[in-house]
Amino acid sequence: MKFIVAVDCEGVAATVGSPGASLNESRDLKFAQLQATREADACAKGFFDAGADQVIVWDNHGGSLNLHYDLLDERCDIALGVGFTHRFPGLDSSFAGVAFIGYHAMDNTEDAVMCHTFSSATYQSMKINETQVGELAIDGAVAGSHDVPVVFVASDDKGTAEAQSFFENVATVTTKEALGWNAAISKHPQRAIAEIRAGAKAAAERLDVFAPFRFIEPLSLEIRYKRIEAAQSASRGLKAGERTDPYTVRWLLDSLADYF
């Protein structure tokens, strides 16, 4: 029984942004990286408690060098750094499930903490097959393309609601009540950790209730950019998409792997 724990940093307990900045410029970054480590460790421990043979922790917040690797349970393997061919390094159909720790709501979510999709500076929004999507749905569908379900998600209340809207029966832990981009009432970090360990264990003990999440393929991917020149570049060159308005480009893809 093998799992991958995908770890972002914005959605962990007691983490918000600073005005006008992404997490990387927030005074909260160092704490967020430490708490992301603790929450990833708790999730992995929960999976091991349920009998997992392997857990890969995938560090994937910008630059993918965030976690305190030596603080992770020593039974974990760790995927870090950038330049992999696809998202979810190491994943294949032999895995029982994936979990999302520290993930955040998609852009266009009112009052979610630091909600965005991949880059708040570059992208306004993304749609797949006309449905608004964020990193949760996209990474969930990447796992689904390998027949692997999303079994557990920890995020703020907007992120866990989003996860439940895409992934049937997914187990969730809410780390904080989001009240704005930089505003939250958080669970105490240690309480969030305890809930994550118990939640991940319980999820791994009822794997029969989960199903892989997929988009119908071939699919349409529509990206609305923040800057008009980014849309212009995306609509020209080798992997050019079709410009649907000055800020928006659409691609028709055979599979999700053609882009992500």
Give CA–CA dist 155/86, Å, rounded.
23
Q: Tell me the residue nearest to Zn ion as measured from the CB.
A: 61
**Do residues 224 and 125 lie in contact, with contact meaning Cβ atoms separated by under 8 Å?**
yes
Helices 135-144 and 157-166: angle between axes, nearest 10 degrees: 40
Q: Which two tokens stand for residue 200?
A: 């991940």
**Do residues 113 and 184 lie in contact, with contact meaning Cβ atoms separated by under 8 Å?**
yes
Min CB(62)–Zn ion separation in Å: 6
Closest CA to 47 of 169, 210, 212, 206: 206
Min CB(175)–Zn ion separation in Å: 14
The values of phi and psi at residue 157, to 5°, are: -60, -30
Please say which residue, 52 or 178, places its beta carbon nearer to Zn ion.
Answer: 178
Min CB(163)–Zn ion separation in Å: 16
Q: Three-state SS for 34? A: helix
Please say which residue, 8 or 156, places its beta carbon nearer to Zn ion.
Answer: 8
Give CA–CA dist 68/203, Å, rounded.
25
Residues at the interface with Zn ion (CB under 5 A): 8, 10, 61
Please say which residue, 54 or 60, places its beta carbon nearer to Zn ion.
Answer: 60
Helix (H) or strand (E) holding 56: strand 54-59
Min CB(94)–Zn ion separation in Å: 27
Please say which residue, 10 or 195, places its beta carbon nearer to Zn ion.
Answer: 10
Min CB(51)–Zn ion separation in Å: 30
Give CA–CA dist 122/94, Å, rounded.
35
Please say which residue, 109 or 248, places its beta carbon nearer to Zn ion.
Answer: 109
Give CA–CA dist 260/216, Å, rounded.
15
Helix (H) or strand (E) holding 75: none
Please say which residue, 214 or 226, places its beta carbon nearer to Zn ion.
Answer: 226
Helices 189-204 and 29-49: angle between axes, nearest 10 degrees: 30
Please say which residue, 124 or 248, places its beta carbon nearer to Zn ion.
Answer: 124
